[in-house]
Amino acid sequence: MNIIFFGTSEFAIPALHALIKHNLSPIVVVTSPDKPKNRGKQLTASPIKTWLQIDPHLAKLILQPTTIDAQFVSHIANLKPEVGIVVSYGKILPKALIELFPKGVLNIHPSLLPKYRGPSPIQTVILNNDEKTGISIMLIDGKMDHGPTLARQEFLILKSKFSNKITYNELHDELSELGAQTLVEILPKWIDGKITPMPQDDGQATYTKLLKKEDGKIDWTKPAEEIERMIRAYNPWPGTYTILKDEKILKIKKGEVIIHQLSSIGAFFKTPDGFPAIVCGTKALKFLVVQLEGKKEMSGKAYLLGHPNLLE
Which residue segments constitute the domains of the chain, with CATH numbers given?
3-204 (3.40.50.170), 213-306 (3.10.25.10)
Instruction: Collect all residues with Cβ–Cβ distance below 8 Å to 191 and sequence separation of at least 6.
Output: 1, 82, 83, 103
Phi, psi dihedrals of residue 285, rounded to the nearest 5°: -120, 125
What rounded mean pLDDT belongs to the chain?
A: 95
Rounded Cα–Cα distance for residues 196 and 232 (Å): 37
Which pLDDT tens digit goes with each residue over 21-73? 999 999 999 999 999 987 778 899 999 999 999 999 999 999 999 999 999 99
CA 8 to each of CA 43, 92, 143, 149: distance values in angstroms, whole numbers, following the listed order: 15, 13, 20, 22
Q: How confident is the model at residue 307 (pLDDT cuts 50, 70, 90)?
A: confident
**The predicted structure's pLDDT at residue 100:** 98
Each residue of 182-202: pLDDT tens digit? 999 999 999 999 999 999 999
19, 183 in Cβ contact below 8 A? Answer: yes
pLDDT tens digits along 129-156? 999 999 999 999 988 999 999 999 999 9
Tens of pLDDT, residues 267-282: 989 999 999 999 999 9
Contacts of 35 (CB under 8 A, 6+ apart): 43, 44, 46
The reported pLDDT for the residue numbered 310 is: 67
| C-alpha atoms less than 13 angstroms from C-alpha of 60 in its C-beta half-sphere | 4
Rounded Cα gap, residues 136 and 180, in angstroms = 11
Burial of 140 (0-12, 13-18, 19+ CB in 10 A): buried
Best CA proximity match to 276, nearest among 248, 246, 247, 242 = 242
